[in-house]
Homo-oligomer: A and B are copies of this chain.
């Protein structure tokens, strides 16, 4: 497969960049990761609440942008409670569908090393935000990523026996007896005999 085909198949639509807020290589890398996972599991973009993604990233480090690419390509979104970081600081994610199984996709260390040589990262390491980096510098690394085959970027591992059971939801809710705002039942606490929300309770959680 030549790179034009790769770009046509895996390059994010313009709205995904608007959603993300800036152009950078990691959102597209994540978008493509999500596409590959859906191909592997033979599923489509998740309309509702039946597909789960566990990115192995955390906080206080760069390159988490790939999570936005995953959200954009799979619709396994934070708002639908379908994506949850493991806080392991790794550039990988597990994709799980109850009927189709699970696959883990990680970025190959050699790919990360090669990518790190691009000028984009010298800007980032000097603390320059992505939107402030010259377009040519940003596009250079993004374009390079889409000259590479999937096998040059990603390690794809089947995860036999992987399992996850989402929390059973409930519509039950009540008003906090102090602030009067609605609270879903699992988060109601009792304080001085009153049903209250967590901030009104003064409890930590």
Contact = CB atoms under 8 A, between A and B. Distances in A.
A49 B129 contact: yes
A107 B60 CA distance: 32
Contacts of A162: none
Interface in A61-98: 61-62, 64-72, 75, 77-81, 83, 86-92
Interface stretch (A35-43, A146-154, A167-175): A167-175
B109 A20 contact: no
A27 B78 CA distance: 12
Contacts of A186: 58, 60-61, 89
A80 B71 CA distance: 12
How many copies of the shown chain assemble into the complex? Answer: 2
A197 B21 contact: no
A79 B27 contact: yes
A87 B46 contact: no
B61 A169 contact: yes
A109 to B, nearest CB: 6
A184 interface: yes
Nearest to A74: B21
A112 interface: yes
A18 B15 contact: yes
A184 B60 CA distance: 9
9 contacts: A20-B75, A20-B79, A60-B186, A61-B170, A62-B169, A67-B79, A71-B71, A88-B183, A89-B185
